[in-house]
Structure 1
Amino acid sequence: MGKKSSASTIKSKEKRQARKLEQRRIADGMSNVTSANKLTDLAALCRELLVYRNKDMEVDMYIQRVTELDKNVLEWAINLTERNMRKLYETCAWGWNPERKVEEMTDDSAWYLIAKQNDKLLAFSHFRFDMDFGEPVLYCYEVQVEADGRRRGLGQRVLKVLEKLAHATRMRCVRLTALTHNPSASAFFRACGYILDDTSPSIEEATHYEILSKTTENEGGTDPPIAS
Protein backbone atom coordinates (compact mmCIF):
# COMPACT_ATOMS: atom_id res chain seq x y z
CA MET A 1 0.00 0.00 0.00
CA GLY A 2 1.18 3.50 -0.69
CA LYS A 3 1.68 6.27 1.80
CA LYS A 4 -1.36 7.94 3.26
CA SER A 5 -2.08 11.36 1.91
CA SER A 6 -1.15 14.36 4.03
CA ALA A 7 -4.83 15.19 4.60
CA SER A 8 -5.57 11.62 5.68
CA THR A 9 -2.64 11.63 8.11
CA ILE A 10 -3.75 14.90 9.66
CA LYS A 11 -7.32 13.63 10.03
CA SER A 12 -6.08 10.45 11.69
CA LYS A 13 -3.97 12.45 14.15
CA GLU A 14 -6.91 14.70 14.94
CA LYS A 15 -9.09 11.67 15.73
CA ARG A 16 -6.43 10.20 18.03
CA GLN A 17 -6.02 13.53 19.77
CA ALA A 18 -9.78 13.86 20.21
CA ARG A 19 -9.95 10.36 21.73
CA LYS A 20 -7.12 11.19 24.13
CA LEU A 21 -8.80 14.42 25.18
CA GLU A 22 -12.10 12.61 25.77
CA GLN A 23 -10.38 9.89 27.79
CA ARG A 24 -8.60 12.55 29.85
CA ARG A 25 -11.85 14.44 30.41
CA ILE A 26 -13.60 11.31 31.68
CA ALA A 27 -10.63 10.34 33.85
CA ASP A 28 -10.55 13.82 35.40
CA GLY A 29 -14.29 13.65 36.02
CA MET A 30 -14.03 10.26 37.71
CA SER A 31 -11.20 11.59 39.86
CA ASN A 32 -13.34 14.55 40.96
CA VAL A 33 -16.25 12.26 41.83
CA THR A 34 -13.98 9.98 43.86
CA SER A 35 -12.49 12.96 45.70
CA ALA A 36 -15.93 14.40 46.46
CA ASN A 37 -17.17 11.12 47.89
CA LYS A 38 -14.12 10.88 50.14
CA LEU A 39 -14.85 14.22 51.82
CA THR A 40 -15.69 14.00 55.50
CA ASP A 41 -17.10 17.50 56.05
CA LEU A 42 -19.20 18.75 53.15
CA ALA A 43 -20.68 21.42 55.40
CA ALA A 44 -17.32 23.20 55.39
CA LEU A 45 -17.83 23.91 51.68
CA CYS A 46 -21.14 25.74 52.15
CA ARG A 47 -21.42 26.66 55.82
CA GLU A 48 -22.66 30.18 55.10
CA LEU A 49 -25.76 28.72 53.39
CA LEU A 50 -26.71 26.22 56.07
CA VAL A 51 -28.56 28.77 58.20
CA TYR A 52 -31.77 30.10 56.66
CA ARG A 53 -33.79 32.93 58.16
CA ASN A 54 -37.03 34.19 56.59
CA LYS A 55 -39.45 36.15 58.79
CA ASP A 56 -40.78 33.59 61.29
CA MET A 57 -38.68 30.77 59.84
CA GLU A 58 -35.35 29.90 61.44
CA VAL A 59 -33.90 26.82 59.78
CA ASP A 60 -30.61 25.04 60.33
CA MET A 61 -29.25 22.47 57.90
CA TYR A 62 -26.70 19.70 58.09
CA ILE A 63 -25.23 17.18 55.65
CA GLN A 64 -24.54 13.50 56.29
CA ARG A 65 -23.95 10.30 54.40
CA VAL A 66 -26.89 7.94 54.53
CA THR A 67 -24.71 5.51 56.48
CA GLU A 68 -24.35 8.13 59.24
CA LEU A 69 -27.92 9.44 59.19
CA ASP A 70 -30.11 8.92 62.23
CA LYS A 71 -32.57 6.08 61.62
CA ASN A 72 -35.58 8.19 62.59
CA VAL A 73 -34.54 10.99 60.23
CA LEU A 74 -34.13 8.53 57.37
CA GLU A 75 -37.55 7.02 58.07
CA TRP A 76 -39.05 10.52 58.05
CA ALA A 77 -37.40 11.27 54.69
CA ILE A 78 -38.74 8.06 53.17
CA ASN A 79 -42.21 8.76 54.57
CA LEU A 80 -42.22 12.36 53.30
CA THR A 81 -41.20 11.18 49.84
CA GLU A 82 -44.10 8.75 49.76
CA ARG A 83 -46.56 11.38 50.97
CA ASN A 84 -45.40 13.88 48.37
CA MET A 85 -44.71 11.61 45.41
CA ARG A 86 -46.72 8.39 45.53
CA LYS A 87 -49.76 9.67 43.61
CA LEU A 88 -47.54 11.28 40.99
CA TYR A 89 -45.63 8.03 40.46
CA GLU A 90 -48.85 6.02 40.30
CA THR A 91 -50.13 8.19 37.45
CA CYS A 92 -47.10 7.66 35.20
CA ALA A 93 -45.27 4.76 33.56
CA TRP A 94 -42.96 4.23 36.54
CA GLY A 95 -45.63 3.34 39.07
CA TRP A 96 -44.96 3.42 42.80
CA ASN A 97 -42.63 0.71 44.09
CA PRO A 98 -41.88 1.35 47.79
CA GLU A 99 -39.18 -1.31 48.01
CA ARG A 100 -37.32 0.14 45.02
CA LYS A 101 -37.60 3.67 46.41
CA VAL A 102 -36.26 2.60 49.81
CA GLU A 103 -33.40 0.78 48.10
CA GLU A 104 -32.58 3.93 46.13
CA MET A 105 -32.73 6.18 49.18
CA THR A 106 -30.57 3.91 51.34
CA ASP A 107 -27.83 3.22 48.79
CA ASP A 108 -24.41 3.69 50.39
CA SER A 109 -23.53 6.41 47.86
CA ALA A 110 -26.40 8.65 49.02
CA TRP A 111 -25.81 11.96 50.79
CA TYR A 112 -28.52 13.85 52.67
CA LEU A 113 -29.05 17.54 53.29
CA ILE A 114 -31.49 17.91 56.20
CA ALA A 115 -33.31 21.12 57.12
CA LYS A 116 -35.03 21.57 60.45
CA GLN A 117 -36.51 24.28 62.64
CA ASN A 118 -35.67 23.51 66.23
CA ASP A 119 -36.65 19.82 66.47
CA LYS A 120 -39.11 19.87 63.55
CA LEU A 121 -37.85 18.33 60.32
CA LEU A 122 -38.92 20.49 57.38
CA ALA A 123 -37.08 19.49 54.21
CA PHE A 124 -34.37 17.29 52.77
CA SER A 125 -32.45 16.52 49.63
CA HIS A 126 -31.02 13.14 48.67
CA PHE A 127 -28.09 13.68 46.30
CA ARG A 128 -25.01 11.90 45.00
CA PHE A 129 -21.71 12.70 43.34
CA ASP A 130 -21.60 10.50 40.26
CA MET A 131 -20.59 10.11 36.63
CA ASP A 132 -23.62 10.54 34.39
CA PHE A 133 -23.30 10.29 30.60
CA GLY A 134 -19.53 10.65 30.99
CA GLU A 135 -19.75 13.80 33.11
CA PRO A 136 -19.10 14.39 36.82
CA VAL A 137 -22.36 15.68 38.27
CA LEU A 138 -24.11 16.27 41.55
CA TYR A 139 -27.32 14.35 40.89
CA CYS A 140 -30.27 15.52 42.95
CA TYR A 141 -32.53 12.52 43.50
CA GLU A 142 -35.00 14.25 45.81
CA VAL A 143 -35.94 17.68 47.08
CA GLN A 144 -38.86 17.23 49.45
CA VAL A 145 -40.43 19.86 51.69
CA GLU A 146 -43.13 19.49 54.34
CA ALA A 147 -46.37 21.36 53.58
CA ASP A 148 -45.77 24.03 56.23
CA GLY A 149 -42.29 24.74 54.85
CA ARG A 150 -43.33 25.46 51.26
CA ARG A 151 -43.49 28.81 49.46
CA ARG A 152 -41.10 30.32 51.98
CA GLY A 153 -37.86 30.09 50.02
CA LEU A 154 -36.65 26.93 51.73
CA GLY A 155 -36.64 24.75 48.62
CA GLN A 156 -34.68 27.39 46.75
CA ARG A 157 -32.11 27.54 49.56
CA VAL A 158 -31.74 23.75 49.45
CA LEU A 159 -30.90 23.98 45.74
CA LYS A 160 -28.41 26.78 46.39
CA VAL A 161 -26.59 24.52 48.84
CA LEU A 162 -26.41 21.76 46.23
CA GLU A 163 -25.15 24.21 43.61
CA LYS A 164 -22.44 25.46 45.96
CA LEU A 165 -21.37 21.88 46.67
CA ALA A 166 -21.29 21.08 42.96
CA HIS A 167 -19.07 24.08 42.30
CA ALA A 168 -16.75 23.38 45.23
CA THR A 169 -16.25 19.75 44.22
CA ARG A 170 -15.76 20.46 40.49
CA MET A 171 -18.95 18.82 39.31
CA ARG A 172 -20.13 19.77 35.83
CA CYS A 173 -23.63 20.64 37.01
CA VAL A 174 -26.50 19.85 39.32
CA ARG A 175 -28.73 17.45 37.39
CA LEU A 176 -32.18 16.15 38.32
CA THR A 177 -35.23 14.32 37.00
CA ALA A 178 -38.59 16.11 36.97
CA LEU A 179 -41.98 14.55 36.25
CA THR A 180 -43.67 16.36 33.39
CA HIS A 181 -47.12 15.92 34.94
CA ASN A 182 -45.98 17.84 38.04
CA PRO A 183 -46.03 21.35 36.52
CA SER A 184 -45.53 23.17 39.82
CA ALA A 185 -42.22 21.36 40.40
CA SER A 186 -41.05 22.00 36.83
CA ALA A 187 -41.94 25.68 37.19
CA PHE A 188 -40.05 25.85 40.49
CA PHE A 189 -36.87 24.35 39.05
CA ARG A 190 -36.98 26.60 36.01
CA ALA A 191 -37.51 29.65 38.22
CA CYS A 192 -34.32 28.59 40.02
CA GLY A 193 -32.37 28.62 36.74
CA TYR A 194 -32.62 24.98 35.68
CA ILE A 195 -32.99 24.22 31.99
CA LEU A 196 -33.62 21.17 29.83
CA ASP A 197 -30.46 19.08 29.87
CA ASP A 198 -28.85 17.64 26.73
CA THR A 199 -29.35 14.16 28.20
CA SER A 200 -33.12 14.58 28.52
CA PRO A 201 -35.02 12.04 26.38
CA SER A 202 -37.20 13.17 23.51
CA ILE A 203 -40.96 13.23 23.95
CA GLU A 204 -41.14 10.15 21.74
CA GLU A 205 -38.80 8.27 24.11
CA ALA A 206 -40.39 9.37 27.39
CA THR A 207 -43.44 11.51 27.99
CA HIS A 208 -43.57 11.38 31.78
CA TYR A 209 -40.22 12.87 32.77
CA GLU A 210 -37.47 15.23 31.71
CA ILE A 211 -33.90 15.89 32.81
CA LEU A 212 -33.08 19.40 34.00
CA SER A 213 -29.74 20.84 35.02
CA LYS A 214 -27.91 23.95 36.13
CA THR A 215 -24.28 24.31 35.12
CA THR A 216 -21.80 25.26 37.81
CA GLU A 217 -19.54 28.29 37.51
CA ASN A 218 -16.56 26.00 36.90
CA GLU A 219 -17.20 25.87 33.16
CA GLY A 220 -14.79 28.19 31.41
CA GLY A 221 -13.24 29.35 34.68
CA THR A 222 -10.69 28.29 37.23
CA ASP A 223 -11.60 25.16 39.12
CA PRO A 224 -11.78 25.61 42.89
CA PRO A 225 -9.68 23.32 45.05
CA ILE A 226 -11.47 20.35 46.58
CA ALA A 227 -11.22 20.53 50.34
CA SER A 228 -9.71 17.60 52.16
Structure 2
Amino acid sequence: MNERDLKKLKSKKKGKERRAAQKAERARLAAAQLLVNQANAQTDPLSKFPSFINYERNGLTSSLICKKVKELEPELLQWAMNLCKENMRPLYEKSNQGWHEDEKVEEMTEDAAWYLIVLDKAANKPLAFSHFRFDMDYGDEVLYCYELQLEESCRRKGLGRFMMQVLELMAFSNQMQKVVLTVFKHNPDGMNFFKKCRYDIDETSPVDSYEETFDYCILSKMNKMKPTQKTSL
Protein backbone atom coordinates (compact mmCIF):
# COMPACT_ATOMS: atom_id res chain seq x y z
CA MET A 1 0.00 0.00 0.00
CA ASN A 2 1.50 3.30 -1.10
CA GLU A 3 1.44 6.54 0.92
CA ARG A 4 -1.53 7.95 -0.99
CA ASP A 5 -3.65 4.88 -0.31
CA LEU A 6 -2.62 4.91 3.34
CA LYS A 7 -3.78 8.55 3.69
CA LYS A 8 -7.12 7.67 2.09
CA LEU A 9 -7.54 4.78 4.48
CA LYS A 10 -6.79 6.96 7.50
CA SER A 11 -9.18 9.65 6.28
CA LYS A 12 -11.91 7.09 5.74
CA LYS A 13 -11.36 5.70 9.23
CA LYS A 14 -11.53 9.17 10.79
CA GLY A 15 -14.70 9.94 8.88
CA LYS A 16 -16.29 6.72 10.09
CA GLU A 17 -15.31 7.49 13.70
CA ARG A 18 -16.67 11.03 13.40
CA ARG A 19 -20.01 9.80 12.05
CA ALA A 20 -20.22 7.22 14.84
CA ALA A 21 -19.51 9.92 17.44
CA GLN A 22 -22.16 12.20 15.92
CA LYS A 23 -24.69 9.38 15.98
CA ALA A 24 -23.88 8.61 19.62
CA GLU A 25 -24.21 12.29 20.54
CA ARG A 26 -27.58 12.58 18.81
CA ALA A 27 -28.77 9.52 20.72
CA ARG A 28 -27.49 10.99 23.99
CA LEU A 29 -29.26 14.29 23.40
CA ALA A 30 -32.50 12.52 22.50
CA ALA A 31 -32.30 10.45 25.70
CA ALA A 32 -31.57 13.58 27.76
CA GLN A 33 -34.51 15.44 26.22
CA LEU A 34 -36.78 12.48 26.98
CA LEU A 35 -35.79 12.69 30.66
CA VAL A 36 -36.59 16.41 30.69
CA ASN A 37 -39.96 15.78 29.05
CA GLN A 38 -40.79 13.05 31.58
CA ALA A 39 -39.83 15.31 34.49
CA ASN A 40 -42.04 18.09 33.16
CA ALA A 41 -44.94 15.68 32.65
CA GLN A 42 -45.23 15.07 36.39
CA THR A 43 -48.09 16.50 38.37
CA ASP A 44 -46.00 17.09 41.49
CA PRO A 45 -42.30 16.11 41.68
CA LEU A 46 -42.37 16.74 45.44
CA SER A 47 -44.99 14.06 46.09
CA LYS A 48 -42.33 11.32 46.06
CA PHE A 49 -40.75 12.83 49.18
CA PRO A 50 -43.44 13.07 51.89
CA SER A 51 -40.85 13.54 54.63
CA PHE A 52 -39.74 16.78 52.94
CA ILE A 53 -43.09 18.55 52.71
CA ASN A 54 -42.72 20.10 56.16
CA TYR A 55 -40.03 22.30 57.65
CA GLU A 56 -40.37 22.70 61.39
CA ARG A 57 -37.11 24.01 62.80
CA ASN A 58 -35.64 27.15 64.33
CA GLY A 59 -39.00 28.67 65.14
CA LEU A 60 -40.54 27.96 61.74
CA THR A 61 -43.61 25.77 61.28
CA SER A 62 -44.10 25.53 57.54
CA SER A 63 -45.08 23.27 54.66
CA LEU A 64 -43.83 23.01 51.08
CA ILE A 65 -45.81 22.74 47.87
CA CYS A 66 -44.64 22.36 44.28
CA LYS A 67 -46.69 23.49 41.29
CA LYS A 68 -46.35 24.49 37.66
CA VAL A 69 -46.80 28.21 37.12
CA LYS A 70 -50.11 27.75 35.31
CA GLU A 71 -51.50 25.94 38.38
CA LEU A 72 -50.28 28.55 40.86
CA GLU A 73 -52.84 30.80 42.51
CA PRO A 74 -52.60 34.36 41.07
CA GLU A 75 -52.05 35.91 44.51
CA LEU A 76 -49.14 33.53 45.20
CA LEU A 77 -47.54 34.33 41.87
CA GLN A 78 -47.91 38.04 42.49
CA TRP A 79 -46.35 37.67 45.94
CA ALA A 80 -43.42 35.80 44.37
CA MET A 81 -42.90 38.55 41.80
CA ASN A 82 -43.01 41.23 44.48
CA LEU A 83 -40.53 39.38 46.69
CA CYS A 84 -38.17 38.82 43.76
CA LYS A 85 -38.29 42.52 42.92
CA GLU A 86 -37.69 43.54 46.54
CA ASN A 87 -34.72 41.19 46.96
CA MET A 88 -33.12 41.32 43.52
CA ARG A 89 -33.71 44.76 42.04
CA PRO A 90 -30.81 46.39 43.96
CA LEU A 91 -28.44 43.64 42.75
CA TYR A 92 -29.60 43.91 39.14
CA GLU A 93 -29.22 47.69 39.24
CA LYS A 94 -25.57 47.24 40.29
CA SER A 95 -24.99 44.84 37.41
CA ASN A 96 -24.34 45.41 33.71
CA GLN A 97 -27.84 44.14 32.97
CA GLY A 98 -29.96 46.56 34.97
CA TRP A 99 -33.43 45.79 36.25
CA HIS A 100 -36.04 45.14 33.54
CA GLU A 101 -39.27 44.27 35.26
CA ASP A 102 -41.18 43.25 32.13
CA GLU A 103 -38.48 40.75 31.21
CA LYS A 104 -38.42 39.31 34.73
CA VAL A 105 -42.21 38.93 34.79
CA GLU A 106 -42.10 37.19 31.41
CA GLU A 107 -39.37 34.85 32.65
CA MET A 108 -41.27 33.98 35.83
CA THR A 109 -44.54 33.27 34.00
CA GLU A 110 -43.29 31.16 31.09
CA ASP A 111 -45.07 27.82 30.75
CA ALA A 112 -41.90 25.89 31.64
CA ALA A 113 -41.68 27.47 35.10
CA TRP A 114 -42.14 25.40 38.26
CA TYR A 115 -42.50 26.84 41.76
CA LEU A 116 -41.45 25.38 45.09
CA ILE A 117 -43.23 27.46 47.74
CA VAL A 118 -42.93 27.45 51.53
CA LEU A 119 -46.08 28.37 53.49
CA ASP A 120 -46.29 29.38 57.14
CA LYS A 121 -48.81 26.98 58.69
CA ALA A 122 -49.80 29.24 61.58
CA ALA A 123 -50.14 32.53 59.69
CA ASN A 124 -51.23 30.90 56.42
CA LYS A 125 -48.90 33.07 54.37
CA PRO A 126 -45.97 32.39 52.01
CA LEU A 127 -42.44 32.62 53.33
CA ALA A 128 -40.14 31.63 50.49
CA PHE A 129 -40.08 30.32 46.94
CA SER A 130 -37.89 28.89 44.23
CA HIS A 131 -38.62 29.28 40.54
CA PHE A 132 -36.98 26.35 38.74
CA ARG A 133 -37.20 24.38 35.52
CA PHE A 134 -36.38 20.96 34.15
CA ASP A 135 -34.54 21.86 30.96
CA MET A 136 -31.68 21.23 28.56
CA ASP A 137 -28.63 23.40 29.19
CA TYR A 138 -25.60 23.17 26.87
CA GLY A 139 -26.62 19.62 25.98
CA ASP A 140 -27.19 18.47 29.55
CA GLU A 141 -30.47 17.57 31.24
CA VAL A 142 -30.64 19.83 34.30
CA LEU A 143 -32.79 21.35 36.97
CA TYR A 144 -32.11 25.07 36.61
CA CYS A 145 -32.80 27.14 39.72
CA TYR A 146 -33.78 30.60 38.46
CA GLU A 147 -34.72 32.05 41.83
CA LEU A 148 -34.36 31.24 45.52
CA GLN A 149 -36.04 34.02 47.48
CA LEU A 150 -36.88 34.20 51.20
CA GLU A 151 -38.70 36.77 53.26
CA GLU A 152 -36.39 38.56 55.69
CA SER A 153 -38.19 37.03 58.68
CA CYS A 154 -37.27 33.44 57.79
CA ARG A 155 -33.63 33.85 56.76
CA ARG A 156 -30.68 32.31 58.59
CA LYS A 157 -32.90 29.52 59.92
CA GLY A 158 -31.77 26.74 57.59
CA LEU A 159 -34.77 27.06 55.29
CA GLY A 160 -32.84 28.10 52.19
CA ARG A 161 -30.47 25.15 52.48
CA PHE A 162 -33.43 22.83 53.04
CA MET A 163 -35.08 24.14 49.88
CA MET A 164 -31.90 23.51 47.89
CA GLN A 165 -31.85 19.94 49.22
CA VAL A 166 -35.43 19.50 48.02
CA LEU A 167 -34.51 20.83 44.57
CA GLU A 168 -31.60 18.39 44.44
CA LEU A 169 -33.86 15.49 45.43
CA MET A 170 -36.31 16.36 42.68
CA ALA A 171 -33.49 16.80 40.15
CA PHE A 172 -31.57 13.64 40.86
CA SER A 173 -34.63 11.42 41.34
CA ASN A 174 -35.60 12.47 37.81
CA GLN A 175 -32.11 11.61 36.54
CA MET A 176 -31.04 15.16 35.81
CA GLN A 177 -27.31 15.54 35.25
CA LYS A 178 -26.97 18.46 37.66
CA VAL A 179 -28.60 21.41 39.40
CA VAL A 180 -27.53 24.72 37.88
CA LEU A 181 -27.95 28.33 39.01
CA THR A 182 -26.63 31.82 38.37
CA VAL A 183 -25.37 34.19 41.07
CA PHE A 184 -24.01 37.74 40.92
CA LYS A 185 -20.38 38.12 41.92
CA HIS A 186 -21.31 41.26 43.84
CA ASN A 187 -23.69 39.20 45.99
CA PRO A 188 -21.27 37.82 48.61
CA ASP A 189 -24.07 36.45 50.80
CA GLY A 190 -25.42 34.47 47.87
CA MET A 191 -21.98 33.23 46.84
CA ASN A 192 -21.15 32.12 50.37
CA PHE A 193 -24.53 30.43 50.77
CA PHE A 194 -24.17 28.31 47.65
CA LYS A 195 -20.57 27.44 48.49
CA LYS A 196 -21.79 26.14 51.85
CA CYS A 197 -24.35 24.09 49.91
CA ARG A 198 -21.36 22.64 47.99
CA TYR A 199 -21.97 24.26 44.63
CA ASP A 200 -18.95 24.76 42.37
CA ILE A 201 -18.19 26.86 39.31
CA ASP A 202 -19.83 25.15 36.35
CA GLU A 203 -17.93 24.43 33.14
CA THR A 204 -20.34 26.76 31.30
CA SER A 205 -19.60 29.75 33.54
CA PRO A 206 -18.14 32.61 31.45
CA VAL A 207 -14.49 33.53 32.01
CA ASP A 208 -13.30 37.13 32.24
CA SER A 209 -10.90 38.33 29.57
CA TYR A 210 -9.26 41.58 28.47
CA GLU A 211 -12.13 42.12 26.04
CA GLU A 212 -15.02 41.29 28.37
CA THR A 213 -15.76 40.80 32.05
CA PHE A 214 -18.80 39.22 33.64
CA ASP A 215 -20.56 40.24 36.86
CA TYR A 216 -22.09 36.80 37.40
CA CYS A 217 -21.03 33.19 37.48
CA ILE A 218 -22.79 29.89 36.94
CA LEU A 219 -22.65 27.32 39.72
CA SER A 220 -23.72 23.69 39.73
CA LYS A 221 -23.87 20.49 41.72
CA MET A 222 -23.46 17.25 39.82
CA ASN A 223 -25.55 14.11 40.18
CA LYS A 224 -22.88 11.77 41.52
CA MET A 225 -25.00 8.74 40.64
CA LYS A 226 -24.95 9.72 36.97
CA PRO A 227 -21.61 9.96 35.16
CA THR A 228 -21.15 12.53 32.40
CA GLN A 229 -21.69 10.96 28.99
CA LYS A 230 -20.91 13.72 26.51
CA THR A 231 -19.39 12.52 23.26
CA SER A 232 -16.32 14.22 21.82
CA LEU A 233 -16.92 15.22 18.19
For residues 128-147 of structure 1, what are the structure 2 equivalents within 5 Å? 128-147=133-152
For residues 113-192 of structure 1, what are the structure 2 equivalents within 5 Å? 113-118=116-121, 119-192=124-197
Residue 203 (structure 2) aligned to one of 198, 206, 218: 198
State TM-score, norm by structure 1.
Answer: 0.92
- Matched residue type, 1:56: G
Partners of 1:173 and 1:57 lie apart in 2 by 29
Supply the RMSD in Å over aligned alpha carbons. Answer: 1.7
Is the partner of 1:21 in helix, strand or coil?
helix
Contact 1:197–1:211 (8 Å) recurs in 2: yes
Contact 1:125–1:143 (8 Å) recurs in 2: yes
Contact 2:127–2:154 (8 Å) recurs in 1: yes
Q: Is 1:8 paired with 2:11? A: yes
Partners of 1:17 and 1:177 lie apart in 2 by 35
1:72 aligned partner: 75
Deviations 1:115-169 (A, max 9, x none): 0111121110000111111111111000000101111110001101110111111
Is the partner of 2:198 in helix, strand or coil?
coil
Contact 1:50–1:161 (8 Å) recurs in 2: no
Partners of 2:68 and 2:213 lie apart in 1 by 32
Q: Is 1:209 paired with 2:216? A: yes
Deviations 1:104-125 (A, max 9, x none): 1011110000001111211100
Shift of 1:191: 0.7
Partners of 1:218 and 1:210 lie apart in 2 by 25
Contact 1:115–1:121 (8 Å) recurs in 2: yes
For residues 15-164 of structure 1, what are the structure 2 equivalents within 5 Å? 15-118=18-121, 119-164=124-169
Is the partner of 2:46 in helix, strand or coil?
helix
- Matched residue type, 1:97: H
Pairs aligned (count): 221
Structure 2: unaligned runs, 5 residues or longer: 229-233
- Matched residue type, 1:82: K
Partners of 1:63 and 1:24 lie apart in 2 by 31
Shift of 1:2: 5.0
Shift of 1:46: 2.7
State TM-score, norm by structure 2.
Answer: 0.90
Contact 1:127–1:140 (8 Å) recurs in 2: yes
Partners of 1:8 and 1:47 lie apart in 2 by 57
Structure 1: unaligned runs, 5 residues or longer: 222-228
Identity %: 43
Contact 2:117–2:126 (8 Å) recurs in 1: yes
